[in-house]
Structure 1
Amino acid sequence: MIGEIVFQAMNYIGIVAFAFSGVIKAMEKELDLLGALVLGFVTSLAGGILVDVLLGIYPPVNLVYLPYPLTAIASTFIAIIVRKQFDKIARPLLYFDAIGLGAFTASGAQLAFSHGLNFLGVAILASITATGGGVIRDVLVSEIPLVLKRDFYATPTIIGGFLFYAISSLGYESVSLSSTFLFVLILRLVAIRKSWRLPRVA
């Protein structure tokens, strides 16, 4: 019961955080109201939809369980209303992305683990859940996805997936969600602060 509550909390945290990051990206690109709604919706829900398709869950939960899309739409509208409070665009986007990254890594890992995937499958699906919406968001605004740049972005989600699998395999699944969320969030925030980058291929 507690695990399900934490799982739902991770999902809602991720939806709200990524909806805000989608709106911030829309502001950066000077999109209209519909554009902001599309980016907010896609950023917050597309990663989960991709993972459901990969796991054979039809139709995807994010499309049929109304609280999820309604939360995404409501969060997008709230972000639009308070958008003038964002003094600078880039920094809030990174922070909201970090929160969503941690939350969706945890929930994606839990979903993959519950379907009996091995450690590699859990790490991959955790990363797709966390980064898939942001990838589609960036593609829609004609940018190279952040996950493909020299930023320390997707790496924390992969490590977080391995961490979740390790903790859950030891029988501590009740704390694996919150531990994974905090680990990925802190690692991503440190990476932002320290400007960590992966080696460049050239």
Structure 2
Amino acid sequence: MVWDVLNVIGTIAFAMSGAIIAMQVKYDIMGTYILGLITAFGGGAVRNLFTGIPVIELWQQTELFIIAIITITIVFLLPNMAVLHLKEWSIFDAIGLSAFAIQGAMYAASIDLPLLAVMFSAAITGAGGGIIRDVLAQQKPIVFRQEVYLLWALVAGFVIGMGWAVQSFQLYSLFVIILLLRVISHQCGWGLPIRTVTKVQQH
């Protein structure tokens, strides 16, 4: 039950996120649908590749594809002002990250993968779609910026990999905690250490 709920939540959130970004960079309707679908399903597809699941399994999620298409259609038909408000609210990435990170970790743990693999599965499922979306939209991926993003997915993977969240209420609580941590870190401007290399001018 938790798996299905998180699947739906993550799919809707990332489909909205992808559609909004596509409209922001002035993609046409086809580009909007493609970017929305890639954002919603890209992370799961990459996870499947790394965990040995046939990619064809992706196409067995008919209900989720329908949900994503309906979501993208609604976003595309919204008035410009509503889309701008949704973009400024910027919570959909946080929702998608939290839902899919937990779902990815749950899957890896269910097939008895080691802790590092569970954490990797959480990270790639939670952030993979967003990375592909940003690359296709010719933007610097959020994951690779100073802003705290991927770390929260790794935290979710660590908690599940350690067996600290097994029951439904524990998993839902973890979802809320990761979501809040992502929102708070974004609002407060928390960042990870960064180092830049500049060319030394010779005199």
Q: Structure 2 matches for 1:179-194, cutoff 5 A?
A: 179-194=173-188
Residue 57 of structure 2: aligned partner? 61
Task: List alignment gaps of at least 5 residues for structure 2.
Answer: 197-203
- Alignment RMSD (CA, Å): 1.7
- Report if the CA contact (8 A) 1:105-1:180 is conserved: no
TM-score (normalised: structure 1): 0.90
Q: Map of 1:18-97 to 2, 5 A cutoff?
A: 18-82=14-78, 84=80, 85-88=82-85, 90-92=87-89, 94-97=90-93
Q: State the SS of the aligned residue for 1:57.
A: coil
Provide the C-alpha distance between the structure 2 equivalents of 1:184 and 1:121, rounded to a whole number of angstroms.
19
Deviation, structure 1 residue 26: 1.0
- In the other structure, the counterpart of 2:99 is 103
Is there any run of 5+ residues in structure 1 with no aligned partner, and where? none
- Code of the residue aligned with 1:174 in structure 2: it is S
| 8 Å Cα contact 2:94-2:183 kept in structure 1 | yes
Find the residue that maps to 1:192 and give its secondary structure: helix
In structure 2, the CA distance between the partners of 1:150 and 1:156, relative to structure 1 (3 Å rule), is same
Once residues 193 and 132 of structure 1 are traced to their aligned partners in structure 2, the CA distance between those partners, rounded to angstroms, is 22
What is aligned with 1:137? 133
Report if aligned partners of 1:53, 1:60 keep a CA contact under 8 Å in 2: no
Mapped contact 1:100–1:130 kept (Cα < 8 A)? yes
Percent sequence identity over aligned pairs: 33
Once superposed, which parts of structure 1, at least 4 consecutive aligned residues long, lie more than 6 Å away? none
Q: Could you tell me which residue of structure 1 aligns to residue 200 of structure 2?
A: none
- Partners of 1:149 and 1:130 in 2: how far apart? 16
Structure 1 residue 172 corresponds to structure 2 residue 129: no
